Amino acid sequence: MPRGLTAFAYPTYRVLWLSSTFTALGTWAERLAVGWLVLVETESVLLSAATFAVRSAPGILAAPLGGAVADRYPRTRLLPITALIRAVLKVLLALIAWAGFSNPWPIFVLIALGGVVNSFDMPSRQGLITDLVPRELRMNAISLHAVGSLAVGAIGALASGITAELLGIPAALTAAAVLVLIGGAVVLLIPSVQPATGDQQTPLRMVFQDTADGIRLMAGLPVVATLLLMAIAVEIFGFAYQSVMPAMARGELQVTESGLGTLQFAAGMGAVTGAVALSLLGDFRRKGRLLLSVTMVYGLGLVGVALSPSLAVAITLVTLVGAMAAAFDAIQLTLLQATVPDEMRGRVVGGWLFAIGFGWVGHLAMGAVGEAFGVRWAIGGAGLVVMATSLAVLALAPKLRRA
């Protein structure tokens, strides 16, 4: 295979990649539709941002358990189950949007349940990626997986915005449910890959023991602990900008659903660029320093988005932010999985989901600041904190610098 596409030489990896692209289409379509729906119906920046917060909050409790389950049971069986549940939840959201609502709390409950399901889906998916390729191709495989998911996610956001504007939000949510269901069905084409523990009959109490063992191991590895703390900070102050983009698009840039979809598409295309660049690097040795550089540029990009005077400028800078966000996630996941034993890979991804589960704090904070002082202040302030995080880790974490 050409350089940068080496992981595609493995047929089962290609099947998983296809599954993830369908799943990403549905996931991003639903995020855009729900965020816009709540903003329009409630006229509240805070409540719109809260739709993002309740997606990540369940990960604080569920993700460590989800990671242990992903290490204990066959991942190829878990993923179709999570896809089915997520599709049902999206159909219920479509029904609420169609019937109309006076109180957004049923929407928040369904999104929170989706966050719980994601805490089992993502450790299984990330663990399966590295099950299907040799160790030296893991960064390439993770990056290529991100390329597919982010590219079609961008398309899904754009298509969702157009569909919502032309056919209505219920139609966009129904399409999202169908796409996620297809993604789960495709996984059934992959032969069963047995986790390292190999015992499918283990009592549930052993799953909880696995969870505790994983937490102790991650806390005892300085590089892993630093990466997870860094993930908490960047998730709270960096990725949370997405929760106020509907308000930025509608209030500051004066665009409709399709305009918001265009911004999300730009972020996705930027993410594709960042992931492709990483896949071309291969087994890059200076991953720690690269992560810190990416984090600094990420923060600068957010400050630029906050200062954008027009839609065109915002699209350009959101593209840069998307590239840095994708690179940040891919490098983190590669470093985390390379630092722990193979039988712990699902649990370390669960630990990462636990860390980014604190993103709900950022979503609510961004919504509150955006409502009180304006979304530009919220996004710009978040960018400054992300830059400070990069400098702090550079100064205080020598082991990560050398990773």
Question: What's the rounded Cα separation, in Å, for the pair 330 and 278?
Answer: 8
Higher-pLDDT residue of 373 and 61 is: 373
Q: What is the mean pLDDT of residues 170-182?
A: 90
What confidence score (pLDDT) does residue 317 get? 93
* Cβ 362 vs Cβ 231: under 8 Å: no
Mean pLDDT confidence for 2-26: 84
**pLDDT for position 1:** 58
Find, among 317, 328, 312, the residue nearest to 379 by Cα: 317
Q: What is the pLDDT at residue 284?
A: 65
Which range of 13-27, 54-68, 195-209 scores highest in mean pLDDT? It is 13-27
Q: What is the pLDDT of residues 53-83, one digit of tens each?
A: 788 777 777 777 777 787 778 888 889 999 9
Q: How many CB atoms lie within 10 A of CB 11?
A: 11
Quick count: other Cβ atoms within 10 Å of Cβ 161?
27
Q: What are phi and psi of 202, to 5 degrees?
A: -65, 135
Residue type, 393: V
Query: How does 134-158 read in b/e, with b if 16+ C-beta sit within 10 Å?
Result: eeebbbbbbbbbbbbbbbbbbbbbb
Return the pLDDT at 200.
47
- The whole-number pLDDT of residue 212 equals 62
State the burial class of residue 310 (Cβ atoms within 10 Å of its Cβ: 0-12, 13-18, 19+): exposed
Query: Residues 318, 271: contact at Cβ < 8 Å?
Result: no
CATH node for 6-189+203-401: 1.20.1250.20
At 47, is the pLDDT very low, low, confident or very high (cuts 50, 70, 90)?
Answer: confident
* pLDDT band per the 50, 70, 90 thresholds, residue 283: low
Most confident segment among 198-207, 209-218, 372-381: 372-381
| The pLDDT of residue 206 | 57
pLDDT per residue as tens digits for the range 293-345: 999 999 999 999 999 988 889 999 999 998 898 888 888 877 887 777 766 76
Give residue 198's pLDDT band: very low, low, confident or very high (50, 70, 90). Answer: very low
Would you say residue 4 has pLDDT above 90?
no
The residue with greater pLDDT, 30 or 136, is 30
pLDDT score at 92 = 93
Choose from 222-231, 304-313, 333-342, 356-365 the range with maximum mean pLDDT.
Answer: 304-313
Q: Mean pLDDT throughout 266-283?
A: 75
Q: How far is CA 126 from the centre of its chain?
A: 12
Helices assigned H by DSSP within 194-256: 204-220, 222-237, 245-247
Domain boundaries, the chain: 6-189+203-401
Residue 9 CB-density burial (10 A; 0-12 exposed, 13-18 middle, 19+ buried): exposed
User: What phi and psi values does residue 128 have, to the nearest 5 degrees?
Assistant: -70, -35
For residue 84, what pLDDT is reported?
94
